[in-house]
Structure 1
């Protein structure tokens, strides 16, 4: 199996395309009736789904991976720990899972990009959900020390009340555009169909 397209996506920082690329390769392998090899980039595939915030697909992929491969690939297990923390909404645990493993060079770039994106998502969540939040709680959500979290949110326009140690949230309009990709839906349908038959 030629994984050059996966490597190219990683090299060009096209992390949002990793899951689609790996899903397409997986469908190709399934259509050919070839068993998965030990060199399949399962950790990257799983992290690709996690990166695009598709925890359901990550969970489905994890369940479909043979136990022998899970046992032989500690990086895959470490990637799934991130997925588990997201699944249970243990946002502080996500950062612990990220920092709790010595990632390979190839995977490290994707994990670092996800960590940065996750911090951005958590900041947006805090901004939309709170008008004030303690420095300690914000630090947990952002996976930072209290000092780093305070500096991070101050740069984003929040203010701090030094007496109460509360952060005052500055609301900003967040526009998030959702696009339905019919190609992705078709590939998912074909994949599920193949697994069921």
Structure 2
């Protein structure tokens, strides 16, 4: 089985391309009856988690034979991350990811996954809260309170040290709509005709 495209995507850090690539190669191998002993199961599962495609990740996990799951500790470690994502155990995602000694194929991928996940969680916090306790931000972001505070302040939030609360800076709504005078004139004429 030729895994050079997967290795190239990993080397190029093209992580968002890995899930569809792995899906295609695995389907082609299955259609030819090729053995999948060398298949990078952990990379494939993590690729779905990286895209936040939990349904595909769960389906992939359930489709694997039990002996594959039992024989590959790295695969089981990736699945623990997936379970935390599925159960919305935000702090558990970081614990699961940082609590395993990843091989060279996955170490950079895990780091990139955590950065992407942290940004996604920060965006969720930004949209959900106007103020939030530092301890909660630290919990959701998998950081110490000091690091979480620094991260939030660097992204425009402000800290009230007396209450240990962060005030969220909401992104400005973008309004790119321009008023076209000719359209306004036509609308005015149309309304005038309707009224008279």
TM-score (norm 1): 0.86
The equivalent residue for 2:72 is: 73
Task: Give the Å deviation of 1:173.
Answer: 4.5
The equivalent residue for 1:21 is: 21
1:40 aligns with 2:76: no
SS at match of 2:166: strand
Deviations 1:120-139 (A, max 9, x none): 00100000000011000000
Report the Cα distance in structure 2 between the residues aligned to 1:95 and 1:9, rounded to whole angstroms: 24
Report the Cα distance in structure 1 between the residues aligned to 2:35 and 2:47, rounded to whole angstroms: 21
The equivalent residue for 1:190 is: none
The equivalent residue for 2:106 is: 107
Report the Cα distance in structure 1 between the residues aligned to 2:52 and 2:152, rounded to whole angstroms: 23
Report the Cα distance in structure 2 between the residues aligned to 1:60 and 1:20, rounded to whole angstroms: 14
Written as runs of structure 1 = structure 2, the 5 A alignment for 1:80-99 is 80-99=79-98
| Long gaps (5+) in structure 1 | 176-197
Task: Give the Å deviation of 1:34.
Answer: 2.8
The equivalent residue for 1:195 is: none
Task: Give the Å deviation of 1:26.
Answer: 1.0
The equivalent residue for 2:192 is: none
Distance 1:174 1:2, change over 3 A: farther
The equivalent residue for 1:188 is: none
What RMSD, in angstroms, separates the aligned Cα atoms of the two structures?
A: 1.2
Task: Give the Å deviation of 1:35.
Answer: 3.9
Task: Give the Å deviation of 1:36.
Answer: 2.5
| Long gaps (5+) in structure 2 | 175-196
Distance 1:52 1:66, change over 3 A: same
Aligned length: 174
Q: After TM superposition, which residue ranges in structure 1, 4 or more long, deviate above 3 angstroms?
A: none
Written as runs of structure 1 = structure 2, the 5 A alignment for 1:1-197 is 1-37=1-37, 39-173=38-172
Higher Rg:
2
Distance 1:24 1:174, change over 3 A: farther
Report the Cα distance in structure 1 between the residues aligned to 2:48 and 2:173, rounded to whole angstroms: 23
Greater length-normalized contact order (CA 8 Å, ≥ 6 residues apart): 1
